[in-house]
Amino acid sequence: MTDRLKGTLMGVLFSLGAVVIWVILTFIGFIAGLAGALMGILFVMGYQKFNPSDKSKYVVFVACILIVVEIVVAELLAIAIIAGFYEVPFADALAIPEVQTGIILDVVIGLVLSFAVFVGYLYSRNRKNQLNDRRMYTGMPNAYPMPYGMLVERTYVMLKPGFLHLTGEIQSRIEAAGLRVLVRDERVLNGEILRRHYEEHLSKPFYPGLEEYMLSDAVCCMVVEGENAVAKMRELMGATKDAESGTIRGDYAESITKNVIHGSDSQQSAQREIAIFFPGF
């Protein structure tokens, strides 16, 4: 094998290796940027499992370093490949207009990726700070201050067995009151969850009948959010007994037990009940 052929093969192998490294580093930088942005977007949309920890700034720092390394190494390898292909010095390859255009494009891509990482991080950190503000303001995570003295809360609502055909009507009433349903799920409860929910009533004589009824068919569980959500939902529901016409219970209840709907009676109850039926929400 001649020296020229050996040199050519070595050049080809070097070029292939450089391209592979370039692709890998570019992929890492791209994924790091997308992951940073996606984490922030998902958390802002309410997926709280993407809540950034206090150490997340180090992850962001590493991601940005990877992007910088990708830009530097990729450009050096690209210019080296071009210099070897045309058999010209490195400085001459750097002076080629197409090479300069490629460098500019790669730098722009790198800056965009870095920006995406920081945007994702800042969004998610800001969202976490909002949750912390809720705890500082009310001592609990399901309420937080809003402008003009508003207090936005989350409350737990449950349609009882036999009344799920009213789901659309009741949700319309909830939304007409200025509240919104964040999540809704129809399910058949089990005894363990029901006992956790009604733990203060377990020793009362009416509980066995209540449990039998609540386990007899599916229920519809909801988390409702809005200004003074707890009080507004209690007003929409009506009293347990002798509810006024125009309220949900007043219009549809069949008895004290089969009174259509359950709603948290306080912020503390809402926090506890949401954790029972929608853990991690």
Enzyme catalytic residues: 262
8 A C-beta contact, residue 193 and residue 275 = no
Task: Say which amino acid occupies 50.
Answer: F
8 A C-beta contact, residue 249 and residue 234 = no
Distance of CA 252 to the CA centre of its chain: 36
8 A C-beta contact, residue 133 and residue 145 = yes
In angstroms, the CA 207 to CA 72 distance is 70
In angstroms, the CA 97 to CA 19 distance is 21
Cα separations (Å) of 113 from 62, 69, 259? 13, 13, 55
In angstroms, the CA 162 to CA 214 distance is 10
SS3 at position 159: strand
For residue 145, report the phi and psi dihedrals to the nearest 5 degrees. -75, 145
Closest CA to 231 of 264, 272, 261: 264
Cα separations (Å) of 208 from 91, 199, 215, 216, 273? 86, 12, 11, 12, 20
SS3 at position 264: coil
